[in-house]
Amino acid sequence: MRRRVLVLVAATTSLVLVAFLVPLALLLRTVAADRAVQGASVEAQALSSLVATTDRAGLALAVAQVDANSAADISVFLRDGSVLGAPAARTPLVELAARGSSASGDVDGGREIVFAVRGAVNGGVIRAFVPAATLTAGVAGAWLLLGALGIGLLLISLLVADRLARSLVRSTAELASVSHRLAAGDIDARAAPDGPGELAVVAGALNGLAGRISDLLREERETVADLAHSVRTPLTALRLDAEALTDPADALRIGTGVDGVQRAVSHAIEQARRRGSDRAATDAAGCDATAAVRERIAFWAVLAEDTGRTTTVDVPGGPVPVALSRSDLDAAVDALLGNVFAHTPDGTALALRLTPSAGGGADLAISDAGPGLPAGVAVLQRGASNAGSTGLGLDIARRAAERSGGELRMGRSALGGLEVVLQLGPTVGRGA
């Protein structure tokens, strides 16, 4: 925008200067020529009385003196054909003046002025020739001065325009910076409302939006905290009931389920309380996808065994770092496995495969042998479901993948059902 303002001001100022300076330059040239012609005319006319009254010797001396002191060439053509003063040929204008008509005109090399003199002694024609150099004397210097004045005015206008453009660009850049900080989760970012009028209005509106976002986030945190507080009481009762069971296997199974719900509640509270900048730093630190997947599949293995599902797990032996926090990855894996258990019949086989990517990160594929997805169902839309659920599972996984710099893909699995692939970005170089 700064460059565009400068170009606009330069173009406008140049047009104004051209419209002003070009006519002025032409006027200066005309004035210089008129001044030279007028001076030569006055000097030539001063000889009229001498031509009519003075003898030839005195006239010759007077003409020579005037010619020597004049910038023009002064000549006197007498009736007998002789020429006094500056040597000159009889031109058509001289012939015209000899017939009694004074005139002037442009000729090669300058301007010629002739006066007809009627007198008793000599008579004849007085001729003044003003060279082109004399006609334009001082014009070049005046034009240089005008050019310097025009350049100076152009530079001053560009300087003023640059200061104005800097102010506009600085205010716009500050607004953009504040909006980027808000988008990154810095809800305390505010714009200074001290820019130009319109930008100050935008800054005030942006600050109002930031305040509204802060209020909404605070209400969300309070709502999640209230929900978590309400859920913890029945969870505590369930844990006590599990500990009171006489069968250790049942106690372990129910206790494990209660621990899973407790982790989910704690994760929701953590997500609500974290600010965007802290969250970005946590995600950038990443986690080991291998350890996370092994732990979550071990958690779901008990339910898979109870429902008669064949589970195939293919994970690397070593760590696979990904740009996603451990809690977010656990939530994404739980959401995808939970969908398999919730939307496929008991006994449906499932497979989980973690494949490191060549450039870092990994692809986590969860597939099943179920019926797949019906055509035309927008399951990736938050809250959309065709099975009576909340419709949040796939959306949780999708947002986790995008948070790591990857994406979620769905297709037909080798088992014949649905395959969901989470592309998880690498930790190295993320945010560069």
First to last CA, the chain: 27
Mean pLDDT along residues 396-404 = 88
Go through the domains of the chain in sequence order and give each one's CATH number: 2-139 (3.30.450.20), 187-273 (1.10.287.130), 274-424 (3.30.565.10)
Which of 432 and 128 is assigned the larger pLDDT?
128
State yes or no: pLDDT of 236 exceeds 60: yes
Cα dihedral across residues 218, 219, 220, 225: positive or negative:
positive
State yes or no: pLDDT of 389 exceeds 50: no
Does this model's pTM top 0.85? My answer is no
Mean pLDDT along residues 271-285 = 52
What's the pLDDT tens digit per position in 23-62?
999 999 899 989 988 988 888 888 887 877 777 888 889 8
Nearest to 31 by CA among 102, 135, 160, 171: 135
Facing residues of 322 across strands?
Answer: 287
Which of 168 and 151 is assigned the larger pLDDT?
151
Count how many residues are written for the chain. Answer: 432
Mean pLDDT, the chain, rounded, equals: 82
- Range with the lowest mean pLDDT among 34-48, 65-79, 277-291, 365-379? 277-291
What's the pLDDT tens digit per position in 165-180?
877 777 788 888 888 8
- Range with the lowest mean pLDDT among 72-81, 110-119, 231-240? 231-240
What's the pLDDT tens digit per position in 331-358?
889 889 888 888 889 899 999 999 999 8
pLDDT > 90: percent of the chain: 16
Which of 200 and 131 is assigned the larger pLDDT?
131
What's the pLDDT tens digit per position in 13-25?
888 988 988 999 9
Q: What is the pLDDT of residue 354?
A: 94
State yes or no: pLDDT of 1 exceeds 60: yes
What's the pLDDT tens digit per position in 408-432?
999 999 988 999 999 999 886 544 3
Residues 381 and 388: beta-carbon distance below 8 Å: no
Alpha helices in 46-138 (DSSP H): 48-53, 56-69, 92-98, 132-135
Task: Report the distance separating Cα 69 and Cα 39, nearest Å.
Answer: 12
Task: Report the distance separating Cα 136 and Cα 110, nearest Å.
Answer: 10
Residues 51 and 119: beta-carbon distance below 8 Å: yes
Nearest to 321 by CA among 413, 237, 405: 405
Q: What is the pLDDT of residue 280?
A: 47
Which of 363 and 165 is assigned the larger pLDDT?
363
- Range with the lowest mean pLDDT among 27-36, 189-198, 204-213? 189-198
Quote the Cα angle for 310-316-322, to 5°: 110
Q: Which residue has the tokens 């300076």?
A: 21
Nearest to 159 by CA among 19, 13, 17: 13
State yes or no: pLDDT of 193 exceeds 60: yes
Strands 110-117 and 124-131: antiparallel
Q: What is the pLDDT of residue 184?
A: 79
Q: What is the pLDDT of residue 379?
A: 52
